[in-house]
């Protein structure tokens, strides 16, 4: 399939098998994210790959009504960005998310964007604070994406 065909067939997938993602495919998805363009080439992003079942289950509570599918995901890639590196971190991180989503699709893996920034966790905390605490992150947290 060429790129346009991949884009035509891509869909957000929210039902997962829970199978572990083969390392080779995971590496390609991460590479697709890391190769993304960024304003002034600042690359303000950091990724956390979550594969532990218990942590994935806890992550599934990071949003009210929008992240439940995570309990069955094989993997989550949490995308963080540092606003001190650039004022276009939102744009930069969105490109990263989009590229990883397309790469996953091209590899036959379902994935879905879960919005973290400006959203609330089930326990009433901001999604950002919830994930920051769960994953022991000190910088700023913005988006998440998940794979079966």
Nearer to ligand FMN, 27 or 78 (CB): 78
Does 127 help bind ligand FMN (rule: CB under 6 A)?
A: no
Shortest Cβ contact with ligand FMN: which residue? 12
- Contact pattern from residue 98 through residue 117 relative to ligand FMN, giving x for each residue in contact according to CB under 6 A and a dash for the rest: --------------xxxx--
Q: Between 15 and 31, name the residue whose CB sits nearer to ligand FMN.
A: 15
How many CB atoms are located within 10 Å of the residue 5 CB?
10
Torsion sign across C-alpha atoms 5, 96, 36, 90 = positive
Neighbouring-strand partners of residue 112? 146
Give me the half-sphere count of Cα atoms (radius 13 Å) on the Cβ side of residue 125: 12
* Beta strand pairing call for 45-50 and 75-81: antiparallel
Distance CA 142, CA 138 (A): 12
> For ligand FMN, which stretch binds (CB under 6 A), given 10-18, 73-81, 85-93, 103-111?
10-18
Q: Which residue has the tokens 């606003």?
A: 83
Minimum CB separation of residue 12 from ligand FMN in Å reads 3
Residue closer to ligand FMN, measured from CB, 12 or 31: 12
Q: Which residues bind ligand FMN (CB under 6 A)?
A: 11-12, 14, 63, 66, 112-115
């Amino acid at each position: 399939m060429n790129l346009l065909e991949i884009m035509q067939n891509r869909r957000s997938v929210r039902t997962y098998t829970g199978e572990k993602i083969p390392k080779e495919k995971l590496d390609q998805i991460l590479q697709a994210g890391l190769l993304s363009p960024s304003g002034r080439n600042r690359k303000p992003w950091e990724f956390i790959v979550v594969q532990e079942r218990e942590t994935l289950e806890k992550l599934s509570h990071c949003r009210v009504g929008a992240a439940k599918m995570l309990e069955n995901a094989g993997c989550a890639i949490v995308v963080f960005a540092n606003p001190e590196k650039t004022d276009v971190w939102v744009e930069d991180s969105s490109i990263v998310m989009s590229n990883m989503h397309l790469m996953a699709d091209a590899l036959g893996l379902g994935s879905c964007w879960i919005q973290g920034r400006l959203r609330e966790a089930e326990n009433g905390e901001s999604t950002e604070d919830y994930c920051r605490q769960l994953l022991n992150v000190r910088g700023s947290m913005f988006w998440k994406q998940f794979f079966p």
